[in-house]
Structure 1
């Protein structure tokens, strides 16, 4: 098996947009206020060229099976946001999200002191992953949230 993590490229945009949308549809979360309707969802390679941002895709035997990244959050200078960490349903449970999470955390700590994520209580497996990596629950979203439908907010302190 050939497994590669690499930076997203323009030819990956369509595939990653579909992975995000399919994942949300399969969980009944294709609703307003989620990543499903982000206007830039099918242009991630452009979005993550910005400073203090990065996005990776995970390729297995030449096929993209997931991705994840981070970027700035709102007006906060020292808080980044974990963004669009998705793995194809049929590839989940193989440790691939851990590979991406490690890449995201290691790189994000170069630009940020904390990492924030907005998610849903119903996404038990994802939430267990976040907690395993030291994210702690918040009682409300940080100011500047773009995903108003989310009902779970987590924050992790990053150490250099």
Structure 2
């Protein structure tokens, strides 16, 4: 298929992760956000690699080209966050988004999570199609548990059972 490896985040990946996420947020979608606005990115291991949480990267030729994370929010529920794939490796040819989601779902099942929730902006139209194609159903914000880490930019919400 491709020489892209999906693996768990490890120390030293921070700049690569930020290098994928920020340009997509800022340049592609015009979201006025900085790394400082996302303190989780400065403490990925502490924020995403505890309890039933996790953080994975897609790596191509030693460079991080995709990210996905899962934040344990209690009650066997978790929030899917930080799903970003660099433009040069998007699409079915590479399958990066699907492989990242597969890694996350396998982890969720292995650790006994029951529900995955996510929030996204109305601008990420391709993401909406991807989530819907992969078993996520749109829900209204009122259906989110109080523990869900809602971001100010999020306007659409989805749920999938594990």
- Common topology (TM > 0.5): yes
Q: State how 1:74-85 maps to structure 2 within 5 Å.
A: 76-85=74-83
Q: Secondary structure at the match of 2:70?
A: strand
Q: Secondary structure at the match of 1:65?
A: strand
Distance in 2 (alpha carbons) for counterparts of 1:36 and 1:67: 18
Aligned residues: 154
Please list every run of 5 or more consecutive structure 1 residues that lacks an aligned counterpart in the other structure.
none
Change over 3 Å in CA distance of 1:24–1:36 after alignment to 2: farther
Per the TM alignment, residue 149 of structure 1 is displaced from its structure 2 partner at its CA by 2.1
For the aligned residues, what is the CA RMSD? Answer: 1.9
Q: Secondary structure at the match of 2:102?
A: helix
Per the TM alignment, residue 67 of structure 1 is displaced from its structure 2 partner at its CA by 1.4
Q: Secondary structure at the match of 1:107?
A: helix
Instruction: Provide, for residues 30-79 of structure 1, a one-character-per-residue CA deviation record: whole Å limited to 9, x for no partner.
Output: 349xx872212133233222111111111112211111121212xx4121
Q: Secondary structure at the match of 2:13?
A: helix
Contact map agreement 1:16 1:67 (CA 8 A) in 2: yes
Are 2:154 and 1:153 aligned?
no
Per the TM alignment, residue 12 of structure 1 is displaced from its structure 2 partner at its CA by 0.4
* Larger displacement relative to structure 2 (128-137 or 1-10): 1-10
Distance in 1 (alpha carbons) for counterparts of 2:62 and 2:33: 31
Q: TM-score, normalised by structure 2?
A: 0.86
Q: TM-score, normalised by structure 1?
A: 0.87
Match of residue 88 from structure 2:
90
Are 2:120 and 1:119 aligned?
yes
Match of residue 66 from structure 2:
66
Q: Secondary structure at the match of 1:82?
A: strand
